[in-house]
Amino acid sequence: MNLELQQFKADFFKALSHPLRIRILELLAEGDKNVNELQTIIGAEGSAVSQQLSVLRSKNIVVGTKEGNRVIYSLRDPMIIDLLHIARQIFNNHLIDAITMLDKFNDDKESNMEE
């Protein structure tokens, strides 16, 4: 069971490992959208958006619902929104650490110049 869970997690994070897929998920977190809407907002070709949606769909991260001649995409699990938020917080923490190190480096450099 543990191995199956680890494999699921690995496959899940692999599916999230493309910047365009992350952008699509961020947009779907704001509300359901079709390919044309996503394409317009992102500024990418429809084929690129469709390809990334296909990957997300194959991993059950998004679902598509047919409405007339369009497919409307939505997040399969709203907890994806939380995951994206946590990822942003982790990024911010890394950024704060980098800025702190840079400030310390600059302070040390100025101290050495004054001596």
What are the pLDDT digits (tens) for 36-46? 999 999 998 87
Which residues does residue 67 pair with via DSSP β-bridges, in sequence order? Answer: 70
Residues of the chain with pLDDT > 70: what percent? Answer: 92
Angle, CA of 58, 59 and 62, to the nearest 5°:
85
Residue 67 domain boundaries: 1-76
Contact present, 42 and 49 (Cβ < 8 Å)? yes
Which domain CATH number covers 14?
A: 1.10.10.10
Domain identity same for 71 and 52:
yes
Domain identity same for 28 and 68:
yes
Domain identity same for 62 and 97:
no
Lowest mean pLDDT among 34-38, 78-82, 105-109: 105-109
Q: The whole model's pTM is what?
A: 0.78
